[in-house]
Structure 1
Amino acid sequence: MDGALGMYVLLALTTAPPLVPNAALIASAGLLAQSGELDLWLVLAVVAGGALAGDVLVYGLGRLAGPRVRAWLQRRPARRSALEWMAGRLARHGVPFVVGMRFLPSGRLVGGLTAAVVGFPFRRFLLGSALAEAVWASYSVGLGYWGGAAFEGAWVGLLVGTALSLLVAGVAQLVSVRAGAKTGRAPLASAPPEQAPPEQAPQESAPQESAPFEGAS
């Protein structure tokens, strides 16, 4: 029981922060659930809940540092263009865009910070994040669970679950690159290259624009 509790705690701690590679650990949890050593539904709840808590934390940090982040992004045309593009997609697609961002490389971090900086309503962000994490946790844990069921042997099931997790991440990266190529922009998970400002162009003070979602509930 103590070992199981420790596994649940480890899952929560490694799933909450973005950019922490724990695919093998999640696949192992699914494998242990298949063998009866862990509860499958509790594993799913811990993985999805931990990821959702991390998304909320990223959004909160973006809210706190919003003015500073916005000022930094608007210093360069490339940064300002990326921010405006993401803000436009959030305004047009809303919750589905939040869900889609989750499955791109670095999407949890980039999506959460962008939603906070442009003033995307927290309740809508929370809904999209909850849907995305539920789907992500289901297939991530399921890879280990069904891998262990299909192959007799813990190590084989673990390797299959880990390999499939990496394959899903690779496909998401390919989709991101292709989408960026079609739109003429860098993938959402990476910032476009910065360009030097024109030397003799007069600098005009741009009027302060409010975030496109300010005042929305």
Structure 2
Amino acid sequence: MPIFTEYGYLAVFVMLLICGFGVPVPEDVTLVTGGVIAGLGHADVHTMFAVGMAGVLVGDGTMFGLGRLYGPRIIKLPGFRRVLTPERFASAQDAFHKYGKWVMFVARFLPGLRTPVFFTAGMSHRVSFATWLLMDGCAALISVPIWVYLGYFGAQNWDWMFGILRQFQHGIFGLLALGGAWLAWRWWKSRKAS
């Protein structure tokens, strides 16, 4: 954590950009760490929240923009073909067709799926930048302050913070299960109608 206490805002911003590029670094850990360093007096918590929002949106927006501008070229790169196979791309296209903009809102809460979903959204040209920004921005306004302020208030009470994290994790899994059931119901309903 010395890099975070020494470079604070810049370290959090850069780590969130790296998360946006699909590197398997948990975004929530970076945001909680930003809150903790603010709670320990190394940064202002409200500024850290703004930096967190900027890092999340710039990272996600970069993937959306790369998909929009260079998608067909990038998707041919050997390393990228393993991440976004033609089958996954077709599946993401189908999800956008069936569920629309809500796919991008839900993707914000699904580590590992954000990058392919946002890249595909840009590459598909079915989603405008304004729509992407609205959906991702609204979802980020839920997730970013939760993690930053949780870290801030938990900085002086680690046992409390880890207890809250465990409870919150169960709540997130419950919400994801409900969301998955709702998407399955919509899929089943659309299949039944056709």
Tell me if both proteins adopt one fold, taking TM over 0.5 as the criterion.
yes
* Pair 1:8 & 2:9 matched: yes
The sequence identity of aligned pairs, in percent, is 24
* Match in the other structure for 1:112: 118
In structure 2, runs of 5+ residues without a counterpart are 189-194
* Match in the other structure for 2:142: 135
Find the residue that maps to 1:63 and give its secondary structure. Answer: helix
2-structure distance, mates of 1:164, 1:34: 21
CA contact under 8 A between 2:69 and 2:123: conserved in structure 1?
A: no
1-structure distance, mates of 2:89, 2:63: 20
Residues 22 and 55 (structure 1 numbering): CA distance in 2 closer, same or farther, change over 3 Å? closer
* Match in the other structure for 2:29: 24
Alignment of 1:1-217 (within 5 A): 4=5, 6-16=7-17, 17-18=19-20, 19-67=24-72, 69=75, 80-90=90-100, 94=101, 96-119=102-125, 120-148=127-155, 153-156=156-159, 159-160=162-163, 162-163=165-166, 166-167=169-170, 170-171=173-174, 173-175=176-178, 177-179=180-182, 181-182=184-185
Q: TM-score with structure 1 length normalisation?
A: 0.62
Residues 168 and 29 (structure 1 numbering): CA distance in 2 closer, same or farther, change over 3 Å? farther
CA contact under 8 A between 2:8 and 2:42: conserved in structure 1?
A: no
Instruction: Show CA shifts across 1:30-75 (max 9, x none).
Output: 23323433201111011110010101111122123434659x8896
Residues 143 and 161 (structure 1 numbering): CA distance in 2 closer, same or farther, change over 3 Å? farther
Residues 5 and 171 (structure 1 numbering): CA distance in 2 closer, same or farther, change over 3 Å? farther
Letter in 1 for 2:119: L
Letter in 2 for 1:104: L
In structure 1, runs of 5+ residues without a counterpart are 186-217
Structure with higher Rg: it is 1
Letter in 1 for 2:94: E
Residues 84 and 40 (structure 1 numbering): CA distance in 2 closer, same or farther, change over 3 Å? same
CA contact under 8 A between 2:39 and 2:152: conserved in structure 1?
A: yes
1-structure distance, mates of 2:86, 2:31: 40
Find the residue that maps to 2:57 and give its secondary structure. Answer: helix
Kindly report the root-mean-square deviation, in angstroms, between the aligned alpha carbons of the 2 structures: 3.4
